[in-house]
C-alpha cells in the first residue's frame, strides 16, 4: 500500500510542480465553451434582404412596413430597394444580399380579392442557418398578415401548448456537460497517456521495476494518480464552466454530490480506457498521434454536439459502448435538469463498470518486466 | 578466459552473484549465449563490451528486469527467476539514463524510492541523510533536481540506488555523458562506497580507464559471449607483449628491422614509415637500453623514442578485434600490434 502511495505521491508532486498539465487540460475545453457557446445558438441579426416591389399598392406598403418594424426591433434583417428582380437574384447568388423578396404586380388587388396572392422569396440555401432564420421571419410576417383582424370567439384550429420543463438553455449551457467531459478526457490523455509513455521511454518505469513494488501496486498507483488528476480537472471545469454559463446547481448539496459522483465515475472510466490503450505502447509518438483520432471517435458519437437519435445505426453502436455517451448524459442530467440520482444511476453504473473492467484487463496485460 | 578468474572470484570470498550458462533469445536472435561468471562479495566487477555486445541484457537479467531464456542467475543467494522479489529487495540498480524526476527535489526523489523499497519512516530519514553525505549532496537536499549539473544528477542517481542499503549495486554505464572531472569524482565516490558499505558492485562501462581504475575484475563480452575474464593486470598480461616501443631513426636503412628483432625480449617489429618502427617487447626498459646502445655504436641519431605499457584498450581490441563499435565511424589512427606468429 505504501509503495502504491509512493507512486501516487510522485505523480501528484509532479502534477502540482508543473502546472502545464492542469492549464492545458482546462484551456481547450474552456476556449471551446466560450467560443462555441457564443458562436452557435445565437440569434441571427443584420442580414440584408432585397425588396423588389412590382405592385406598389397599399398591401405592398403594409408588407414593407412590417419589414421596417423587423429592421428596428428584432433586427434580423434590413431591406434594400431593388428595381430589377434579375439583379436581386444575382446579388443573392454573389452574396451581396442574403435574400430577396419579390412583390409581384397585382399583389394588393389579389389580396383584396382573396385571389391566391403570392410573394416570392429567394434565399441562399447554401447557408442553412441564415436562410432558415430568414424564412422563419418571413413566415411570421405572412402569418401575421393572414390572421383575421377580428379573432373568432371559438378557436377552430388545433393549438399546441408547449411546456418547457427547464429555464431557457442557451448553447453555452448546452455545451457545459460536453466541456467538463472533454477537460477530463484531455487530462487523462496527457496525464495517463502521454506522460505515462514518456516516463516509460525515459526509463522511469525501469527504475520502478527494479524495486520490490508489485504489479498491482504499480498499476493501481499509476491509475489512482491519473484518476485524481482527472477529478481535479473535472471539478475545476465544472465550477468555472458553471459560473461562465450561469448554471447554479453547483451551489446545491444534492446536485453537487451527484456531480462529484459523475466526475469520479468518469475519471475511472477514462483512466481505465486510456491505460488499456497504452499498456503495451512504448513509442512516445503513439499517444500524441492517436489523441485526435480518439477524440473524434469518442467525443462526437456521444451526443455531445448532436442528438444520438439522429445517428445512423453504426454510429449509434459506437455511442452505446462509448463512455463519453454516459458521461455527457449524466452531466446533462445534473447540470441542466437537476434530475437527481435517479437520472444518473445507469450512467454511474456503466462508467464504474467500464472503468473497473478496462483496468482489470489492462492490469492483466501489464508486464512486470521490460 | 584468463586463468581461473571465474572460479577464483567466488573462491576467496562468498559469492554475491553467480551466473551460470545464462541465455537470452529474442526470436531467432541470441543476445546472450550461455555466459557464466561469479562475483565475490565486496568486489567491483566490470562488464566491458562494444555496443550491442549483450552487457545491458546481462545486467537486466540479473536485476530481474527481463527473464532469462535459459540458464540460472543467483543474486545474493536468490534465484532471479524463482525469487525475484527477494533479489529486488537486496539490490540497487542505476540505469544508464538519468531517471530522477527533474521537477522533484533531491530529497523527494530519494524519499519516494525509499518508500518503494518499504524503508520504515524513521529509518528513511537516516538513510537519506547518510546517502546524501556519501555522494556529497547534503547541501543540495532541498534543491530541485533540474537545477543540478549532470555530474550532480548522476550522484543523485547513485544515492537513489543506495537509499535502502542494498548489498549489491548494479550500475549501467554510471559515468556516461560526464565531463572528466565529474567522472573522476564518481570513481572516488564508488571506491569510498565500496570500502565504507562493503558493497558488491557490478558495472558496465565503455571507458577502459574507468574499468582499469575501479574494477577488481573485468569480464569482456562480445556478441553475447564472455571472451575474457580476469583482473585488469591479468587481462593486460594475457595480451602478447607487455610493452610497445616506438622508435624513429633519423636515417632510414633496410637493416633496421633485422637489427631490432635481435634485441632482447623483442617479439615482433612493425615498420610504420621511413625510419619509424613499432617494437613489441616483453621488456620495454631492457629493449630501450639496448636500442640506445646500438644506435650509439652505429653512430645513428634517434629522432624520437617512446615506451608504452599495454592498456585495457589493447586488451579490449585484442579480444573483440576492433575499437568500440560506436567509435568505428571515426577515423582510426591507432594500429594494433600484430599478434604473435603473424608477420608485421
Mind listing the pLDDT tens digit for each residue in B132-181?
998 889 999 999 999 999 889 999 999 999 999 999 999 998 888 788 88
| B9, B45 contact by CB (below 8 A) | yes
All structural domains of chain A, each given as residue ranges with its CATH number in brackets, are 2-39+170-365 (no CATH), 47-146 (3.40.1710.10)
pLDDT score, position A152:
76
pLDDT score, position B10:
46
B88/A207 CB distance under 8 A? no
C-alpha to C-alpha distance for B105 and B145, rounded to whole angstroms: 5
C-alpha to C-alpha distance for A327 and A271, rounded to whole angstroms: 13
pLDDT score, position B245:
87
Mind giving me the DSSP string for A125-192? TTSHHHHHHHHHHHHHHHHHHHS-SS--SS--S-------SSS---HHHHHHHHHHHHHHHHHHIIII
pLDDT score, position B12:
62
pLDDT score, position B5:
46
Q: For chain A, which residues score pLDDT lower than 50?
A: none
* Closest listed residue to residue B303, CA positions, set B268, B275, B278: B275
pLDDT score, position A148:
79
One digit per residue, the tens of pLDDT, for chain B of length 344 reads: 444 444 444 456 789 999 999 999 999 899 999 999 999 999 999 999 888 889 989 999 999 999 999 999 999 999 999 999 999 999 999 988 888 998 899 999 999 999 999 999 989 999 999 999 988 899 999 999 999 998 899 999 999 999 999 999 999 988 887 888 888 888 888 888 888 888 999 999 878 888 998 999 999 999 999 999 999 988 888 877 778 888 999 888 888 889 999 888 888 787 878 889 888 788 888 889 899 999 898 888 889 999 888 778 778 877 886 544 543 333 333 333 343 333 33
B115/A213 CB distance under 8 A? no
The region, left, alpha or beta by phi > 0 then psi within -120 to 50, assigned to residue A49 is beta
B66/A369 CB distance under 8 A? yes
Q: Which residues of B touch A211 (CB under 8 A)?
A: 88, 113, 116-117
Interface of B with A (CB under 8 A): 60, 63-67, 85, 88-89, 91, 93, 95-97, 99, 101, 103-104, 108, 112-113, 115-118, 160
C-alpha to C-alpha distance for B264 and B282, rounded to whole angstroms: 9
| B217, B43 contact by CB (below 8 A) | yes
The correct answer on CATH 3.30.70.1560 for the domain covering B239-327 is yes
| A138, A51 contact by CB (below 8 A) | no
CA distance B114 to chain A (A): 9
Residue A348 is placed in which grid cell? 454511474
The CATH class given to the B5-236 domain equals alpha beta
B101/A10 CB distance under 8 A? yes
State which residue of chain B sits closest to A17, comparing Cα positions. Answer: B103
pLDDT score, position B334:
34
Q: Which residues of A touch B158 (CB under 8 A)?
A: none
Residue B72 is placed in which grid cell? 540460472
CA distance B70 to chain A (A): 16
Q: What are the extents of the domains in chain B?
A: 5-236, 239-327
Q: Which residues of B touch A2 (CB under 8 A)?
A: 115, 118
A14/B117 CB distance under 8 A? no
The set of residues, in sequence order, having a beta carbon less than 8 Å from that of B315 and lying 6+ positions away, is: B208, B220, B228, B235, B236, B238, B239
Contacts of B269-274 with C-beta under 8 Å, sequence gap 24+, read B269/B344, B270/B335, B270/B337, B270/B338, B270/B344, B271/B344, B272/B335
C-alpha to C-alpha distance for A327 and A270, rounded to whole angstroms: 10
State which residue of chain B sits closest to A203, comparing Cα positions. Answer: B99
C-alpha to C-alpha distance for B62 and B81, rounded to whole angstroms: 9
| B74, B18 contact by CB (below 8 A) | yes
C-alpha to C-alpha distance for A100 and A122, rounded to whole angstroms: 5
pLDDT score, position B4:
46
C-alpha to C-alpha distance for A5 and A11, rounded to whole angstroms: 10
C-alpha to C-alpha distance for A285 and A123, rounded to whole angstroms: 48
pLDDT score, position B109:
95
B104/A17 CB distance under 8 A? yes
Q: Is the dihedral of CA B213, B218, B224, B228 positive or negative?
A: positive
C-alpha to C-alpha distance for A331 and A310, rounded to whole angstroms: 20
Which single residue is written with the C-alpha cell 432558415? A132
B112/A204 CB distance under 8 A? no
Counting Cβ atoms within 10 Å, is residue B311 exposed (0-12), middle (13-18) or buried (19+)?
middle
Amino acid at each position: 500500500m505504501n509503495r502504491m502511495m509512493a507512486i501516487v505521491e510522485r505523480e501528484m508532486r509532479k502534477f502540482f510542480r508543473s502546472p502545464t498539465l492542469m492549464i492545458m487540460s482546462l484551456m481547450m475545453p474552456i476556449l471551446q465553451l466560450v467560443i462555441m457557446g457564443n458562436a452557435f445558438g445565437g440569434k441571427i441579426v443584420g442580414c440584408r434582404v432585397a425588396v423588389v416591389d412590382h405592385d406598389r399598392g397599399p398591401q405592398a406598403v403594409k408588407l414593407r412596413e412590417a419589414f421596417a418594424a423587423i429592421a428596428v426591433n428584432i433586427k434580423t434583417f434590413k431591406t434594400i430597394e431593388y428595381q430589377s428582380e434579375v439583379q436581386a437574384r444575382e446579388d443573392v447568388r454573389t452574396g451581396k444580399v442574403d435574400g430577396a423578396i419579390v412583390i409581384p404586380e397585382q399583389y394588393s388587388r389579389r389580396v383584396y380579392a382573396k385571389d391566391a396572392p403570392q410573394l416570392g422569396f429567394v434565399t441562399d440555401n447554401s447557408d442553412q442557418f441564415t436562410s432558415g432564420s430568414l424564412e422563419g421571419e418571413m413566415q411570421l410576417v405572412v402569418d401575421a398578415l393572414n390572421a383575421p383582424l377580428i379573432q373568432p370567439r371559438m378557436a377552430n384550429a388545433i393549438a399546441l401548448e408547449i411546456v418547457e420543463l427547464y429555464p431557457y438553455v442557451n448553447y453555452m449551457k448546452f455545451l457545459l456537460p460536453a466541456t467538463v467531459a472533454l477537460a477530463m478526457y484531455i487530462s487523462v490523455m496527457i496525464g495517463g497517456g502521454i506522460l505515462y509513455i514518456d516516463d516509460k521511454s525515459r526509463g522511469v518505469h525501469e527504475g520502478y521495476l527494479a524495486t520490490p513494488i508489485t504489479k498491482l501496486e504499480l498499476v493501481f498507483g499509476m491509475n489512482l494518480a491519473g484518476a485524481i488528476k482527472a477529478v481535479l480537472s473535472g471539478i475545476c471545469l465544472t465550477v468555472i464552466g458553471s459560473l461562465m454559463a450561469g448554471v447554479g446547481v453547483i451551489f446545491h448539496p444534492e446536485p453537487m454530490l451527484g456531480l462529484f459522483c459523475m466526475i469520479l465515475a468518469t475519471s475511472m472510466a477514462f483512466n481505465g480506457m486510456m491505460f488499456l490503450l497504452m499498456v503495451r505502447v512504448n513509442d512516445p509518438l503513439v499517444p500524441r498521434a492517436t489523441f485526435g483520432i480518439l477524440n473524434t471517435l469518442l467525443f462526437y458519437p456521444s451526443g455531445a454536439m448532436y442528438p444520438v437519435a439522429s445517428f445512423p445505426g453504426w454510429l449509434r453502436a459506437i455511442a452505446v459502448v462509448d463512455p463519453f455517451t454516459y458521461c455527457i448524459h449524466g452531466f446533462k442530467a445534473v447540470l441542466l435538469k437537476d434530475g437527481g440520482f435517479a437520472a444518473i444511476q445507469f450512467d454511474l453504473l456503466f462508467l464504474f463498470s467500464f472503468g473497473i473492467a478496462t483496468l482489470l484487463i489492462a492490469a492483466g496485460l501489464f508486464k512486470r518486466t521490460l | 578466459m584468463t586463468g581461473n578468474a571465474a572460479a577464483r572470484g567466488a573462491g576467496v570470498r562468498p559469492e554475491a552473484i553467480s551466473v551460470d550458462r545464462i541465455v537470452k533469445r529474442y526470436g531467432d536472435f541470441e543476445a546472450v549465449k550461455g555466459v557464466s561468471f561469479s562475483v565475490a562479495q565486496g568486489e567491483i566487477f566490470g562488464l566491458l563490451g562494444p555496443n550491442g555486445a549483450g552487457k545491458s541484457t546481462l545486467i537486466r537479467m540479473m536485476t530481474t528486469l527481463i527473464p532469462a531464456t535459459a540458464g540460472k542467475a543467483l543474486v545474493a543467494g536468490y534465484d532471479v527467476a524463482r525469487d525475484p522479489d527477494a533479489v529486488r529487495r537486496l539490490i540497487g540498480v542505476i540505469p544508464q539514463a538519468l531517471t530522477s524526476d527533474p521537477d522533484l527535489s533531491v530529497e523527494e526523489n530519494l524519499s519516494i524510492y525509499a518508500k518503494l523499497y518499504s524503508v520504515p519512516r524513521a529509518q528513511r530519514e537516516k538513510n537519506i541523510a547518510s546517502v546524501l553525505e556519501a555522494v556529497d549532496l547534503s547541501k543540495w537536499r532541498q534543491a530541485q533536481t533540474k537545477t543540478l549539473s549532470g555530474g550532480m544528477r548522476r550522484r543523485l542517481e547513485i544515492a537513489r540506488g543506495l537509499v535502502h542499503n542494498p548489498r549489491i549495486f548494479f550500475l549501467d554505464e554510471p559515468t556516461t555523458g560526464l565531463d572528466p572531472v565529474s567522472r573522476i569524482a564518481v570513481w572516488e565516490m564508488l571506491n569510498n562506497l565500496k570500502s565504507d558499505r562493503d558493497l558488491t558492485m557490478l558495472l558496465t562501462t565503455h571507458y577502459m580507464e574507468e574499468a582499469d581504475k575501479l574494477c577488481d575484475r573485468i569480464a569482456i563480452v562480445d556478441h553475447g559471449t564472455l571472451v575474457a575474464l580476469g583482473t585488469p593486470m591479468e587481462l593486460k598480461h594475457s595480451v602478447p607483449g607487455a610493452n610497445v616501443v616506438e622508435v624513429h631513426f633519423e636515417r632510414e636503412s633496410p637493416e633496421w628491422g633485422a637489427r631490432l628483432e635481435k634485441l632482447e625480449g623483442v617479439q615482433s617489429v612493425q615498420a610504420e614509415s621511413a625510419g619509424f618502427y613499432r617494437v613489441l617487447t616483453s621488456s620495454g626498459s631492457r629493449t630501450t637500453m639496448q636500442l640506445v646502445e646500438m644506435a650509439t655504436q652505429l653512430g645513428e641519431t634517434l629522432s624520437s623514442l617512446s615506451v608504452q605499457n599495454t592498456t585495457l584498450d589493447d586488451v579490449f581490441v585484442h579480444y573483440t578485434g576492433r575499437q568500440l563499435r560506436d567509435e568505428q565511424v571515426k577515423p582510426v589512427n591507432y594500429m594494433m600490434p600484430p599478434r604473435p606468429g603473424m608477420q608485421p
